Amino acid sequence: GESVGLHLPTLSVQEGDNSIINCAYSNSASDYFIWYKQESGKGPQFIIDIRSNMDKRQGQRVTVLLNKTVKHLSLQIAATQPGDSAVYFCADNAGGTSYGKLTFGQGTILTVHP
């Protein structure tokens, strides 16, 4: 049968390393961006968000970088832990008639080895 891993980019790191997960978005009108973590059998869990008037925002062990020129978003996780293993999704919102609607990227599988 099909495996989820065949369709999603994967990133494999050692515990304690820093991880960088990348995301490209297509809508130049998007002005709000958000990262979610999704573990198997669970709903997406909010990690961090950023508005288009910023290019960097830091949280606890996580940093989001936004490059509007090339429509690129990245999530940096410092000192990655086995509990960080999950699928990570970026999402964006463009406002206007799409008020509230999030458009999700395809996701990246992060595997952290002890």
Partner 1 sequence: GAGVSQSPRYKVAKRGQDVALRCDPISGHVSLFWYQQALGQGPEFLTYFQNEAQLDKSGLPSDRFFAERPEGSVSTLKIQRTQQEDSAVYLCASSLELDRGREQYFGPGTRLTVT
Site string for partner 1, 79-108 (x = CB under 8 A): ----------x-x-x-x-xxxxxxxxxxx-
Q: Report the candidate in 13, 88, 81, 8 with the shortest Cα–Cα distance to residue 48.
A: 88
Residues whose CB is less than 8 angstroms from the CB of residue 107 and which lie 6 or more positions away in sequence, other chains included:
8, 9, 38, 87, 88, 89
Interface positions, 15-34, toward partner 1 (CB under 8 A): 31-32, 34
Among 14, 41, 53, 70, binds partner 1 (CB under 8 A): 41
Q: Which is nearer to partner 1, 5 or 16 (CB)?
A: 5
Which DSSP category does 61 fall into?
Answer: S
Q: Report the candidate in 89, 76, 78 with the shortest Cα–Cα distance to residue 46.
A: 89
Residues that bind partner 1 (CB under 8 A): 2-4, 6-8, 31-32, 34, 36, 41-46, 49, 51, 89, 91, 93, 95, 97-107
